[in-house]
Amino acid sequence: MLVTMSTFLERSAELHVDQIAAVFGFLSLLALIERRPMLAGLFAAGAFLSTQKGVYFVLAGQAGLLAELGRVRTARMRATWLRFTASSAAILAAYLAFWSLFASPRTVIRDVFLDRSIVQIASTVIYTIRSHYWLQTFVQNPLFYGIAAAGAVVLLGRWPRAAEDDRFAILAPYILALSLLAAWHKQPWPYFIALVVPPLFIVNAVFLAELRHRPRAAFVLAIIAAAIPLARFDVTMRRDNTFQRATFTTALSLLAPNETYIDGASMIYTQEQAASEFVWLDWVRMKALRDASPAQLMPLIHRIDTARPKLMLLNYRTAALPPTLQLYARSQFAPLWGNILYYAPVIAPPVFELHFDGTYLADRPARIDDIDVAAGARLQLHRGWHTIRASHPIRLRLVAPPGTVFDARYAAGGELLRNGFDDDRGRMALGSSNVR
């Protein structure tokens, strides 16, 4: 039931922090059920350190343990709560202390807890998607959620009179708290919804176990619940990331270890982007860029140029940049292969600066460093300042190093950040444009 649940299955095919947090949260709940609170606290803290959304597992664990403490009022449950709290706090403290070796404690605490973008994302309805994606997952997995709802009702109904040694008693307040937090969450994209699926799977298992005296009914329910999402299995299997992998491989081969790039999504995770604004170019950051005047964008352009990006990846985020930034992109990059725009500055007399050593291709005739260069000619140039005499601006295209692999299947480019949610809401939120 878990592996065929469409939201979980389709998101599990992607490497995303939410899926990592989901695994930690799932293990944390299992540890709570097994009465191993220190291990549960460790895993819950791991979920939070994977993504701030993982705090929901910490809060749900706290809610479950405090509710149980209020119900049974025993020293054993008090000690369980203290161990869970101490364990999760210790892991968080160790994490903050480690990064404080490289930055000030105030900076670390601000970036983890108080960053303005994080607070805004957590507290503001940015995208009108709440009902859309919840309804989508309910429609695609009706029996999974139906069984989970029935299981939650059963657990909540018997919770007040559950025995102290009932390991599953904590599930009732835990699932209630996690469900409320998930319903409150302002940006329930499908990859977020996948966070709550594993705990709901445990509720499903508990409910089916309640039907142990009717094994045939339990078996049929489980089979149907698993089979319904399989109607989308062909959709999942048709998805292919070979274009993304080919782009990643080629782009990485074009970048030296300390060279930067631009893509708005941090696809080349081993390299730094030219400006922090492009690390994750979501609606909030895009709106700030679009609301800025050309004069206000000039300091950003100066920082980008100082960082000397060597390439830019064309996707729906970079294609939606405001005109001022697009103009800068067109002056610095030109299509090389697929969705890779490579360093190709437009230069004009009397002098110009190049950011990289290499072989360059001139698109028009000119005299560079007192050497006549014909249109289409190649010349070896070093980074730094050069002289030019020409009747008009020309473009110098940096030639890719010999041996660079270009997959001919994707020479024309395509949708680099593919739509994995069966709609275009993310794309429409940013708008569209063109930097080619």
Instruction: Please write the tens of the pLDDT for every residue from 193-247.
Output: 999 999 999 999 999 888 877 888 888 888 888 888 777 777 777 777 899 999 9
> Whose CA is closest to 250, among 92, 97, 369, 401?
401
Note the pLDDT of residue 223.
87
> Whose CA is closest to 263, among 314, 302, 310?
314
Q: Are residues 179 and 38 in the same domain?
A: yes
Whether the CB-CB separation of 136 and 127 falls below 8 Å is answered with: no
Show which of 198, 214, 237 is a domain's final residue.
237
Note the pLDDT of residue 160.
95
Show which of 204, 237, 270 is a domain's final residue.
237
Q: Are residues 206 and 253 in the same domain?
A: no
Q: Are residues 190 and 276 in the same domain?
A: no
Q: Are residues 182 and 313 in the same domain?
A: no
1: in domain = no
Note the pLDDT of residue 161.
94
111: in domain = yes
pTM of the model: 0.79
> What is the C-alpha end-to-end distance of the chain, expressed in Å?
45
Note the pLDDT of residue 434.
41
pLDDT at 397 over 90: yes
Note the pLDDT of residue 119.
67
273: in domain = yes
> Edge-to-edge, what's the strand order for the sheet holding 366-368?
351-354, 384-389, 366-368, 371-373
pLDDT digits (tens, 9 = 90+) for 334-376: 999 999 999 999 999 999 999 999 999 999 999 999 999 999 9
Q: Are residues 250 and 176 in the same domain?
A: no
Note the pLDDT of residue 421.
64
Q: Are residues 231 and 253 in the same domain?
A: no
In the chain, the number of structural domains is 2
Q: Are residues 198 and 221 in the same domain?
A: yes
Note the pLDDT of residue 407.
96
Q: Are residues 101 and 181 in the same domain?
A: yes
Q: Are residues 229 and 247 in the same domain?
A: no
Could you tell me the residue range of the domain that residue 359 belongs to? Answer: 242-430
